Amino acid sequence: TVNGLCDEQTQDLFDLQLRTPEEFKFWDGRSSDKIPYDNITWNFDYSDDETRVPPISRSDALLSASQYISTAYKTGSSYRTIECIPKSKGNCDYSFNMTADSAVESYAVKKNGVQLVNTQGVEGLIWKNHDSFMTKLLMTPFGQSCSPPNPSKRLSVGAIAGIVIACLLVLCLLLCVITMCLKRSRREEQQNQRDEEDPLRETLL
């Protein structure tokens, strides 16, 4: 087992520890000792954007903040989430994502007891209240030597399809031009042959 909790053959241990700030203020300046749950948004999900988009039967990330806290956090408090998750096929299939504006003083993500440190700021997809949206994220790959994917640099399926269609159109245009040139060359060659075979035409000329 992993730390006595997970089956090390089929599972990895996901361990998130976060601490809330000592003070929280609403947008109008009011202070509170409680932080509304939707001011701290994090997901643990697939790293790849195309894979992360769920099938119709799914309406959230694999793990998310709202699955554990659905009311409010207390200021100046520590929270911990521990889950056994299925091992991924690749070392970097999963990632931990937290919105950059989450009301968190500090947090740490561990895999099988080892803290992950390759966190980067990216523009990415995250789930909140059973809906997904693009925003600025702090993304931590759930693996070693992983580079968090940058969704802005990815080509969507529609973009790829557009490129393929454009290439096909260009190819068809080139084939049409080549065909027209060949037909024109053939006509000119046939005309030259007729001129050479017609002595009367040559005399008249």
Q: Is residue 4 part of a domain?
A: no
What is the pLDDT, as a whole number, of residue 153?
Answer: 43
Q: Is residue 6 part of a domain?
A: no
pLDDT tens by residue, 7-49: 988 999 999 999 999 999 998 999 999 999 999 999 998 876 5
In order of 2, 6, 108, 110, the CA distances from 15 in angstroms are: 12, 12, 8, 5
pLDDT tens by residue, 111-167: 999 999 888 898 887 877 777 788 899 999 987 666 555 444 444 445 566 677 888
| CA 70 – CA 37 distance, rounded (Å) | 6
The CA-based dihedral angle spanning residues 174, 179, 182, 188, taken in that order and rounded to the nearest 10 degrees:
-120
**CATH for 105:** 2.60.60
| Whether 122 and 176 share a structural domain | no
Q: Is residue 5 part of a domain?
A: no
| Whether 138 and 38 share a structural domain | yes
| Whether 168 and 103 share a structural domain | no
| Whether 182 and 103 share a structural domain | no
| Whether 30 and 91 share a structural domain | yes
Is the full-model pTM beyond 0.95?
no
Answer positive or negative: Cα dihedral of 135, 20, 31, 128: positive
Question: What domain range includes position 184?
Answer: 158-204
| CA 165 – CA 156 distance, rounded (Å) | 14
| Whether 135 and 196 share a structural domain | no
| Whether 85 and 26 share a structural domain | yes
What is the pLDDT, as a whole number, of residue 155?
Answer: 44
